[in-house]
Amino acid sequence: MLNGIRIIEFEALGPGPFSAMHFADLGAEVILVQRKGGEANPAKGASRLLDRGKRSIALDLKDDGDLGIARALIRSADGLIEGMRPGVMERLRLGPEAAQALNPRLVYGRMTGWGQDGPRATLAGHDLNYLGLSGALFYAGLPGQVPGVPPTMLGDIGAGALYLTVGMLAGLLQARETGQGTVVDAAIVDGAQHMMALLRSMGPGFDTGARGRSLLDGPHWSRCYACSCGGHVAVQCLEPKFYSLFLDRMGLAEDPDFADQFDPDRWPVQGARLERIFAAQPRDHWAALFEDSDACLAPVLTPDEAACDPHMTARGHGSGSALPAPRFDGEARATRPAPDPGQDGVAIMDELRERGLL
């Protein structure tokens, strides 16, 4: 879908590389600029999954010769992704002003946690910090419990990488029409608060400002339950028609304790009863009971179990893999494995020379 688009990625961790991988999955050419002589970072994982589909060149950006190669790459590119703290790229003489002086149509993507300005802009932080400050973490947990720790994908990927990707795609469309690039400031804290708009748009009952009283964190029909085997099931039958189906499968359709779905004063008692019921049987019992139902119950699978689930395997997923998403015309695009650091450097420099950029 993005054939003909070239993205230059400056090596970082987390959401920036994920966004660049997403561009590669969508068909863009992504050239990863890695640190010359740098050791493999264990945080990137043994599989280097986020580098799949990319080409690699190793540069020392403090060396004038290698800096010249980086500038040539920028002149050849449609977009740039960097995930440094604010000011780092400027000190390397590759900040937005310098880059767009080389290439006015460049879409310059900046991925940070706190953003390019504001009191926290230069401070360290991680996913959980950004979610906490944005208000998104408030509902992560049951009443009386500390907020839980969501998977890092909620902040780093949902509020970070995907916002960077969308912002850059918008910038690329503008550049195509006007010839003028833009600077995309993608901050995880901004994306997390922006996603809260869905919650706040749903009106009374969804955003009460009190933990355990909203339709997201308190109801007995919107939480996970422990089973006798130590596994868990996830229940979220929000709509009354689905709630009715849930009660029917559970044998509770005529039970007066469950008659009022939306009374928060009753949720603690209703939840406690369901805890006892679910704890009496193993997870697989409940998964089988609801297998063909619209009652909105699913087992909580481990990653290895998910890789073997019939639905996931039917969609082409497998152990250790993550297929490109979304799909176009029903097909998942294949990608090439991650390159070794610097393995494409010679070919990339030859191409730059052929184009008169070196």
Interval 261-284: pLDDT, tens: 999 899 999 999 999 999 999 999
Per-residue pLDDT at 203: 65
Residue scoring higher pLDDT (251 or 47): 251
Burial label for 281, CB within 10 Å (0-12, 13-18, 19+), is: middle
- Indicate the pTM of the whole model: 0.91
CA distances from 309 to 75, 89, 144, 172, 334 (A): 46, 44, 34, 38, 21
**21-32 residue pLDDT tens:** 999 999 999 999
Which residues in the chain are classed under CATH 3.30.1540.10? 222-300
Angle between helices 162-178 and 188-201 (to 10 degrees): 100
**CA neighbor of 61 nearest in space, from 29, 98, 28:** 98
Burial label for 295, CB within 10 Å (0-12, 13-18, 19+), is: buried
**pLDDT of residue 320 exceeding 70:** no
Q: Does 156 participate in catalysis according to the annotation?
A: yes
Q: Does 260 participate in catalysis according to the annotation?
A: no
- pLDDT, average across residues 235-252: 97
**164-193 residue pLDDT tens:** 999 999 999 999 999 999 999 999 999 999
Q: How far apart are the first and last CA of the chain?
A: 29
Q: Quick one: 222-300 is in which CATH superfamily? A: formyl-coa transferase, domain 3 (3.30.1540.10)
Which residues in the chain are classed under CATH 3.40.50.10540? 6-195+324-355
**pLDDT of residue 301 exceeding 90:** yes
Other beta carbons within 10 angstroms of residue 256's beta carbon come to 7
Of the listed 25, 78, 127, 156, which one is catalytic? 156
Q: CATH says 6-195+324-355 is which class?
A: alpha beta
Of the listed 63, 126, 248, 260, which one is catalytic? 126
